[in-house]
């Protein structure tokens, strides 16, 4: 991932603003991600995707289906298949088939996975808190609120189902 782009030649400033915000959002996230990723690797030999996945499972003691994980992490099913496979190999997670619907896989943290995540989570919180240390509580709340609005705004973008290209549109 990289750096959302702009053409800035002769476009009025208010037209440019969303693009600039997007750029700022993008680079902030990359920046924080870099901090967290480095720390996860150096301190725990782990990665952000694995941590996020463990976190979801931690919050769902009853387990999650593959599809639910994929929805929560906002990634494809195929991605989750691979991620879970590695975590199973590491013994942090286990899979079992649903008894009624044989298409469904239930995924849960193993006791080891639970323990490992419990040790990572406070460190992660500390890193993120430190990264945001210069923002006051008020600023953080403002940011949170604006991001909430943004989320709602993006969610309204119509996503046409595939095949709806309408090549003969006027």
**Which single residue is written with the structure tokens 């099913």?**
77
CB of 110 to its own copies, least distance (A): 17
CB nearer to DNA: give 16 or 44: 44
Q: Does 159 bind DNA (CB under 7 A)?
A: no
Q: In this chain, which stretch among 16-24, 66-74, 130-138, 142-150 interacts with DNA, using CB under 7 A? A: 66-74
Asked whether position 86 contacts DNA by CB under 7 A, the answer is yes
Report the residue from 9, 62, 102, 149 that binds DNA according to the rule CB under 7 A: 102
Element (H, E) at 10: none
By C-beta, is 6 or 15 nearer to DNA?
6
Whether 51 contacts 40, CB under 8 Å: yes
Residue 152 site contact among DNA, its own copies, none (CB < 5 to 8 Å, cut-off depends on kind): its own copies
Closer to its own copies by Cβ: residue 41 or 112: 41
Three-point CA angle 149, 150, 153, nearest 5° = 90
Could you give the residue ranges of the DSSP H alpha helices within the chain? 13-44, 48-58, 66-73, 77-89, 111-131, 137-155
The nearest distance, CB 76 to its own copies, in angstroms, is 11
Retrieve residue 76's tokens: 């494809």
Nearest to 43 by CA among 93, 151, 116, 143: 116
Contact 140, 132 (CB under 8 A): yes
CA 35 to chain centre: 15
Residues within window 105-134 making contact with DNA, judged by CB under 7 A: 105
Alpha-carbon distance of 78 to 50, in angstroms, equals: 15
CB of 14 to its own copies, least distance (A): 6
Residue in the block written with tokens 């119509």: 158
Binding of residue 75 to DNA (CB under 7 A): yes
41 binds DNA (CB under 7 A): yes
Binding site for DNA (CB under 7 A): 1-2, 34, 37-38, 41, 47-50, 65-68, 74-84, 86, 95, 100-105, 162
């Amino acid at each position: 991932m990289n750096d959302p782009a702009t053409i800035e030649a002769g476009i009025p400033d208010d037209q440019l603003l969303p693009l600039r915000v997007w750029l700022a959002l993008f680079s902030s996230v990359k920046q924080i991600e870099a901090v967290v990723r480095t720390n996860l690797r150096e301190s725990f030999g782990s990665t952000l995707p694995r941590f996020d996945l463990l976190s979801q499972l931690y919050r769902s003691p009853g387990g999650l289906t593959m599809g639910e994980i994929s929805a929560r992490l906002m990634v494809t099913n195929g991605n989750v298949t691979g991620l879970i496979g590695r975590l199973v190999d590491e013994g942090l997670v286990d899979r079992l088939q649903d008894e009624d619907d044989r298409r469904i896989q239930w995924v849960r943290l193993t006791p080891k996975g639970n323990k490992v995540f419990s040790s990572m989570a406070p460190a992660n919180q500390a890193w993120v808190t430190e990264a945001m240390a210069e923002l006051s509580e008020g600023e953080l709340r403002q940011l949170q609120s604006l991001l909430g609005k943004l989320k709602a705004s993006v969610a309204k973008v119509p996503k046409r189902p595939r095949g709806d290209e309408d090549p003969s549109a006027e």
